[in-house]
Structure 1
Amino acid sequence: MLTKRKRRVFFYISIFVFLFAALPIIFYSQGYRLGEDFALHKTGGVFIRTSESGALVRADKKNKQTSLINKSALVKNLLPGDYQISAEKEGFWPWSKRIEVLPEIVAERNALLVPKSPNMENLGTTSPRIEIPKPPYPSIKKFWEIPTTRDFIVLGEDGNFYKNRDNLDISGLWGATTYNILKSNKSSFFDENFLRIIYWDAHSIDAYWFGDFGLAPKWQKARELHVFYSDSELADARFYPGWEDYLIVVSGDGIYTLEMDASGGQNIAPLYKGEKPKIVFMDKEIPALVIFDSGQYIRIKL
């Protein structure tokens, strides 16, 4: 027969057992995991946006497949530390990067998967009819297209900058660094969001974020960014349409995609290999490249 004292003891024991069993569930639901040091740690995650649906994203021993709609994958409940993250799909060059995971933070990256056999169309030996935007001033030699507009920034023969025909105070609007970049002998162009400028020469590519730095990607820690150095000569550089963290570069006999974020491993993938390709036009709507190589015009769908 259970006495009042025994019932009280059993009651307290059952409460203790319940709490003992519930605590791990509570900690788990709050995002805590047991680390290799047998201590509880708050977890983080990695969000990978890819260019392809059905891509396999790997993080440590966890695998996630990108969906048909948003082409992204979220890997949650990762203990703090460095992880080798990869995104793969058959028929595409793999993407890989080492990413630091911090407690209660989701690290984000864009993974551009480049097809090993891009869709290409030979347009023949005759130049296709292409309307390349230019300012309506034949004497202007140095100008920059302002993205998503019909406007241009031009450097006049008098050494001053103009937006179309109106004076433009580059230093006052975007600082002395932007002014010096545009004034330099390096080739340069603005990104699609008109927030950063890419400038390059025969061997190096750099970038400067002149816009609101709060809009910069989280991986970029400073306004000035060294993107890439090449031993072989660079012939051209463009933004990859729709992918603000990637460039298209021409060097030697090839055209490549280049990831701007070099931290944790910089992803470079071949897009075209020929003899001495030259970019004639970039169609941002399709999107596609029209190139000239070995006497032929070729359209490469991006």
Structure 2
Amino acid sequence: MTRKKRKIILILSILVFVIIASASILYSQGYTLDGSFRFSRGGGLYISAPLTNSDIFINGEKEKTTSMLSDGLFMSNLKVGEYSILVAKEDFWPWAKTLNIKEGIVTEVRAFMVPENPKGELLLNDNFSNIWISPDGKLIALQKESGYNSYLVFYSPGNSNFLTESSQFTKQLLSFRDSISNVVWEKNTLFFKSDKGIIKTVLDAQRLSASSSYVSEPPYESSDFEKISKKGDQKIWWDPNTSEIFVDWLEENSQPPYYMCPEKPCILPLQIFRSHLAIENVDFLPGRKDIIILSVGNGIYALEIDGRGDRLIYPIYKGKGPLFAVSQDKDVYIIDENSLFKISLEEVN
């Protein structure tokens, strides 16, 4: 081999080395080769799937099965563009989204899995028309219809017993016409407004007794059409006239979470649902501030706040005209066709 050829080979080898080394450095810094054969900085994707033994698919390819020790999937150096995501598990509704991966940004998303056939049971059968639940979930207030009057009765699902009115005066205060409003439940005390005025009822879950009296005003003003998250940083409410649901962030010193404001600028409050049917109730799913439960029409549904790649909604219960109250242990108590049911959402994550 001539000296000239050796020199050419050496130069080519150096060029190849420089190209490979440069490409490796760029790749290690998050750059990838796009469809136009140009280097662009890639993005990342993190998928949280808290339910164990869930299969995670990216663009149709299975990437992982979650476990108790690892409930998520992280992928880096992804090319910028759209990615199809599917999280699936037997006996659960599949969770699917198409997300846009952006340059230099890790896109975070959290799946939620709803069983196709939630476990349910019938608790009571009577002329019930409305329902409220105590903050600790130990007591349920039920509006019961009897002739031209309505009555407020209290039920303990833990021991399957009703509370007894402590006096005839209490029994009179717990009866009313039409319905009650401005319900405030603080620990073991329930406040509400009826045609008789503002009533305060002290409840004893151990002795199974209820004692009512008049008060001049409740501890604070409440709305029948809004709910505040347990930490007090989020609010959801619905407009009964337009059947729209909105969500807002209440913390002034911190940024809204990604599922509420995935892009800047963030415009709040955010409309997350609208229906031609009347919305009867809305609440947060305990343990998930990004998921709400709503009753509309003949069903109860779980709806995610995150609207990227379509906002997903799944059925929990189908009946005639259900109303619900949810406890912190994810038991949903449902009034429908005069009866009280309980559905467990313990598996919803």
Q: Using the TM superposition, name which of 32-41 and 58-67 deviates more.
A: 58-67
Larger Rg, first or second structure (1 or 2): 2
Alignment of 1:208-223 (within 5 A): 208-212=248-252, 214-219=254-259, 220=261, 221-223=266-268
Instruction: Give the TM-score normalised by structure 2.
Output: 0.66
Unaligned runs of 5+ in 2: 142-153, 155-172, 175-179, 199-216
CA distance in 1, matches of 2:89, 2:34: 31
Number of aligned residue pairs? 273
CA contact (8 A) 2:184 2:218 kept: no
Tell me: CA distance 1:252–1:61, structure 2 relative to 1, closer, same or farther (3 Å).
Answer: closer
CA distance in 2, matches of 1:213, 1:114: 33
Question: 2:120 aligned with 1:120, yes or no?
Answer: yes
Q: CA RMSD in A?
A: 3.8
SS of 1:214's partner is coil
The offset of 1:103, in angstroms, is 1.3
The offset of 1:2, in angstroms, is 9.3
CA distance in 2, matches of 1:89, 1:213: 39
Tell me: CA distance 1:295–1:153, structure 2 relative to 1, closer, same or farther (3 Å).
Answer: closer
Task: Return the match for 2:301 from 256, 277, 282.
Answer: 256
Question: 2:232 aligned with 1:194, yes or no?
Answer: yes
Tell me: CA distance 1:150–1:110, structure 2 relative to 1, closer, same or farther (3 Å).
Answer: farther
CA distance in 1, matches of 2:88, 2:11: 54
Alignment of 1:61-76 (within 5 A): 62-69=61-68, 70-76=70-76
SS of 2:254's partner is helix
CA distance in 1, matches of 2:246, 2:21: 54
Q: Counterpart of 1:87?
A: 87
CA distance in 2, matches of 1:291, 1:125: 12
Instruction: Give the TM-score normalised by structure 1.
Output: 0.75
Q: Counterpart of 1:243?
A: 288
Question: 2:339 aligned with 1:301, yes or no?
Answer: no
Residue identity in the other structure for 2:139: E
CA distance in 1, matches of 2:192, 2:254: 28
Larger strand share, 1 or 2? 2
SS of 1:142's partner is strand
CA distance in 1, matches of 2:287, 2:21: 47
SS of 1:21's partner is helix
Tell me: CA distance 1:16–1:154, structure 2 relative to 1, closer, same or farther (3 Å).
Answer: farther
Q: Counterpart of 1:160?
A: none
SS of 1:216's partner is coil
Tell me: CA distance 1:99–1:6, structure 2 relative to 1, closer, same or farther (3 Å).
Answer: closer
Q: Counterpart of 2:24?
A: 25
CA contact (8 A) 1:82 1:101 kept: yes
CA contact (8 A) 1:64 1:75 kept: no
CA shift digits 1:56-98 (9 cap, x unpaired) = 3333355332421242222332222233333222221122223
CA contact (8 A) 2:120 2:343 kept: yes
Unaligned runs of 5+ in 1: 158-162, 169-181
CA distance in 2, matches of 1:59, 1:90: 18
CA contact (8 A) 1:186 1:201 kept: no
